[in-house]
Amino acid sequence: MITIREIAAIAGVSRSTVSLVLNNSPLVRQETREQVLQVIRDTGYVPNSNARNLSLRANKSLGIIILSDLKRSTSYDFSNSIGLYSLNIMRGITSRLSDTDYSVIIEYFSPDSPQGEPDAAISSDARVLLPKLIRERRVDGAFIVCGYCPEPFLSAMAASGIPFVTIAAGTPESVCDSVVSDPAEGIYIAASLLFQRGRRRPALITCLSFRSTRPRIVGFQRACEEHGVPFDEELLVLTGHNSGQSAYDAMQQALSRGLQPDAVVGSNPQLTVGGIRCLTERGYRIPEDISAVTYEDNALCSYFLPAITAVNIQKEKMGESAVELLLHRISCPDAPLSSVTIPSYLVERESV
């Protein structure tokens, strides 16, 4: 009896490509699909039903795919992301899954960096953009934890046929279920506190690679307008990457251009700390000369001296809500798309 291995050899493709064709996956190029199907017809190949059922059964595993615009590093240098955003969300996911039969597999993935040497028979978009867990269909569903999530990646994920939920700051997605926090509202809360305490020149530190950069700026501008402070684009300190070093460098450039802030609003703690480090090296005192508030509270805020006032976006609750959405999607694949927005609240500490 002819096997998948022999079909693959005759067709000149990998075994995984033959499997994708048999499973009617959208990831295979049309010409490759026809080539494999022709070999199957010519050889009279009949799939082993027992093996096929075994391969198609539920994995009982869910993927947690953590996206980043930087390659993952084991270094703890100031130039690297600290990863507490995804860690807090994962805690919520695993807590909610503890009373189910599902286990989780974690993959760190940079959408802009091809992972390994993919099969040439699979479409170029999918080769570049799909995580290994999805390419190999090792999970029944996935959580996409992201601050950085390009549109082509979402399109490729949707084409894979594997249900997934995004967990991010920003607006709901149009191609999948999503759990979001509201960065416009959160930055508005942060900036408003500073204005209420008498500050008039707050600098907003945010990362250009965030899809939610525009909403953050909108929230900041709203707070300025409501408190009678003219919005000035010179107050925007834009970083290239989501790291403390990038925020430090951006703040240094802003100060050299003449920026004289009396407060800092950061898009997350690592950017906030990066900005504060630059300011304190220039002689600014926190909170006497500069007040600081950050969006997205985490442990770094209370460990810092002085402890940093923060907007808590309830990341554990975001993870729990994502589990509810994904389990519902797996059981009801044709249900309408859903989105959940998790409210934020302010935690006041010594930095204001």
Angle, alpha carbons 19-55-37 (nearest 5°): 25
Residue 159 belongs to domain spanning:
61-181+315-343
Domain count, the chain: 3
Q: Which residues contact 208 (CB under 8 A, 6 or more apart)?
A: 238, 239, 240
Same-domain check for residues 144 and 65:
yes
Higher pLDDT, 57 or 175: 175
pLDDT the model gives residue 75 = 61
CATH number at residue 43: 1.10.260.40
Shared-domain flag, residues 70 and 212: no
Q: How far apart are CA 253 and CA 266, in angstroms?
A: 16
User: Residue 38 — φ and ψ, nearest 5°?
Assistant: -65, -40
- In this predicted model, which residue has the larger pLDDT, 286 or 68? 286
In three state form, how does the secondary structure of 246-311 look? HHHHHHHHHHHCCCCCCEEEECCHHHHHHHHHHHHHCCCCCCCCCEEEEECCCHHHHHCCCCCEEE
Contact 25/37 with Cβ under 8 angstroms? no
Per-residue pLDDT tens for 65-118? 998 765 555 567 888 777 788 999 999 999 999 989 999 999 999 876 554 444
Q: Are residues 173 and 319 in the same domain?
A: yes
Same domain membership, residue 144 and residue 250: no
Structural domain contains residue 349: no
The domain spanning residue 263 has which CATH number? 3.40.50.2300
H or E element that contains 43? helix 30-43
pLDDT of 19: 77
Say which amino acid occupies 167: I
pLDDT tens string 302-333: 999 999 999 999 999 999 999 999 999 999 99
170 and 100 in a single domain? The answer is yes
| Per-residue pLDDT at 126 exceeds 60 | no
134 and 239 housed in the same domain? no
Spatial CA neighbour of 279 closest among 309, 295, 259, 304: 259
Domain co-membership, 117 together with 189: no
